[in-house]
């Protein structure tokens, strides 16, 4: 693996899922692979899970880990040929080149602006780092994908499935803020590429994800119809792709105990952080079918498998 930006970078998704599960079973016994190597994590946006789980994964393999919070005053320039006489103090060409000299793997998190769809869907920040870095680049979430989250979600489903090919429903749920499509895009992409589940996506009219991510999934605009017979329910809010960045106030899409009763005693999943009683009711989130903490735990083992694969381990 050269870089880790999407499901397409995995040699095979089933192999990567199995490797993550193996690292989970052998935790604290994998410190030699990255002995003497350095991992730099660069965050342009805040994070709890991605930051701590990736650091933990680095330590698991023996990396020295350096994390830089670049969300504050460090303004990078990404435009080719820019006249840098405004706010940006440094061009990504130098920043990526310099950081590459300090580490063996460079991991980057950035969010979309949700104003300019074309710019966001070109995934300019992560792709600029790939272009100018001389070490492997890991996406810690980009404008349009969250691949480490999705790999952890595959691991969680693999651990809990009760049939060879479970029905997985990704459902839109309400949120008071405009959110990226990254988690939902990535989840759909990984589920289809994994090939071991049947994926249904439920979202209101006007909230269909970009077609490049939903090929191979069934898309319904009726949440209750989608939930019938589900083995896993994955709730997430995303803003509109068609009316780019727009959101909607639709409290009838909250995942509740009544909605979960339509399923095949499904497990509930969410990437966290979650808005209680907006995305999902307390009863579902605190219930015995909720897998949200297991998903967060599996972030470490997903990241461990990816970092090891990038080192050729």
CB of 98 to ligand CP, least distance (A): 25
Q: How far is CA 153 from CA 45, 62, 64, 265, 294, in A?
A: 21, 25, 27, 18, 9
- Closer residue to ligand CP (CB): 140 or 197: 140
- Closer residue to ligand CP (CB): 100 or 139: 139
User: Near ligand CP by CB under 6 A, which window of 43-51, 215-223, 280-288, 304-312?
Assistant: 43-51
Position 203 contacts ligand CP (CB under 6 A): no
CB of 75 to ligand CP, least distance (A): 22
DSSP string covering 4-38: BSSGGGSS-HHHHHHHHHHHHHTTTS-TTTTTT-E
Both structure tokens of 117: 């769809």
CB of 165 to ligand CP, least distance (A): 26
> What is the C-alpha separation between 46 and 210, in angstroms, rounded?
25
User: Near ligand CP by CB under 6 A, which window of 45-53, 56-64, 129-137, 153-161?
Assistant: 45-53
Angle (CA) 233 235 241, round 5°: 125
CB of 173 to ligand CP, least distance (A): 15
CB of 272 to ligand CP, least distance (A): 5
User: Near ligand CP by CB under 6 A, which window of 48-56, 96-104, 189-197, 281-289?
Assistant: 48-56
Position 50 contacts ligand CP (CB under 6 A): yes
CB of 305 to ligand CP, least distance (A): 17
CB 104 within 8 A of CB 308: no
Contacts of 267 (CB under 8 A, 6+ apart): 160, 231, 232, 233, 289, 290, 291
Position 145 contacts ligand CP (CB under 6 A): no
Position 49 contacts ligand CP (CB under 6 A): yes
Q: Which of 262, 272, 274, 278 binds ligand CP (CB under 6 A)?
A: 272
Closest CA to 103 of 12, 152, 34, 27: 34
Position 254 contacts ligand CP (CB under 6 A): no
**Which strand ranges, in their side-by-side order, compose the sheet holding 267-269?**
218-220, 198-202, 167-172, 232-236, 267-269
Position 47 contacts ligand CP (CB under 6 A): yes
Residue 115 has a CB neighbour count (10 Å cut-off) of 9
The residue ranges that bind ligand CP (CB under 6 A) are 47-50, 141, 149, 271-272
């Amino acid at each position: 693996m050269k870089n880790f930006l999407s499901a397409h970078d995995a040699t095979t998704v089933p192999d990567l899922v199995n490797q993550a599960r193996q690292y989970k079973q052998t935790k604290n016994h994998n410190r030699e692979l990255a002995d003497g190597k350095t991992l730099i994590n660069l965050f342009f946006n805040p994070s709890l899970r991605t930051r701590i789980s990736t650091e933990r994964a680095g330590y698991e393999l023996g990396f020295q880990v350096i994390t830089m919070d670049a969300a504050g005053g460090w303004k990078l320039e990404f435009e080719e040929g820019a006249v840098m006489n405004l706010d940006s103090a440094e061009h990504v060409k130098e920043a990526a080149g310099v950081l590459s000299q300090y580490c063996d793997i460079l991991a980057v998190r950035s969010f979309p602006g949700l104003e300019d769809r074309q710019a966001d869907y070109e995934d300019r920040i992560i792709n600029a780092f790939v272009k100018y870095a001389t070490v492997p680049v890991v996406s810690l979430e980009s404008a349009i994908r969250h691949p480490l989250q999705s790999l952890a979600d595959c691991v969680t489903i693999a651990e809990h499935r009760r049939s060879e090919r479970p029905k997985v429903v990704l459902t839109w749920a309400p949120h008071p803020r405009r959110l990226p499509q990254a988690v939902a895009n990535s989840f759909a992409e990984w589920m289809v590429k994994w090939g071991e589940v049947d994926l249904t996506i439920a979202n209101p009219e006007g909230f269909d994800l970009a077609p490049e991510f939903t090929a191979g999934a069934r898309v319904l605009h009726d949440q209750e119809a989608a939930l019938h017979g589900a083995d896993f329910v994955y709730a997430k809010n995303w803003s509109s792709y068609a009316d780019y960045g727009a959101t909607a106030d639709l409290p009838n899409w909250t995942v509740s105990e009544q909605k979960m009763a339509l399923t095949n005693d499904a497990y509930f999943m969410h990437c966290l952080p979650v808005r209680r009683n907006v995305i999902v009711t307390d009863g579902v989130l605190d219930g015995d079918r909720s897998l949200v903490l297991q998903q967060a735990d599996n972030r470490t083992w997903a990241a461990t498998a990816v970092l090891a694969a990038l080192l050729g381990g």
